[in-house]
Amino acid sequence: SITKERTEVVLQGTSSLDPNDPAAVWEEYDFKCKPGDLKRRPCFISPYHYRLDWLMWFAAFQTYEQNEWIIHLAGKLLAQEEEALSLMATNPFAGRVPP
């Protein structure tokens, strides 16, 4: 154990025309191995790990200014770039209008 609490970075998008609308529905991008859904079986691929999922853990300890790559990743997800989406376990906007 490294810390007693685990802070998480969560990437979400919405199809709402007004993201500030309290009724806007936000949907989460799931990662392949990053902890998330408590009902999902843990990812185990020793001795390897998914680099992006691992970096997300460390990004939670810092600001986005110290992890500019998160802004670039979010932009690629918004643009529905296949290379970025291939790093995700799920795309909540698959077959729909991009967020």
Q: Is residue 15 a contact partner of residue 91, using CB atoms and an 8 Å limit? A: no
**Considering the entire predicted model, what is its pTM?**
0.81
Any idea what the Cα angle at residue 48 is, between residues 64 and 87, rounded to 5°? Answer: 50
pLDDT class for 43, splitting at 50, 70, 90?
confident
Averaged confidence pLDDT in the chain: 87
Query: Which stretch, 7-11, 55-59, 69-73, has highest mean pLDDT?
Result: 69-73
CA separation for the pair 98, 95 (Å, rounded): 9
Domain boundaries, the chain: 11-90
Residue 98 confidence (pLDDT): 87
Range 31-38, long-range pairs (CB < 8 A, 24+ positions): 31/56, 31/87, 31/88, 31/89, 32/87, 32/88, 32/89, 34/8, 35/6, 35/8, 36/8
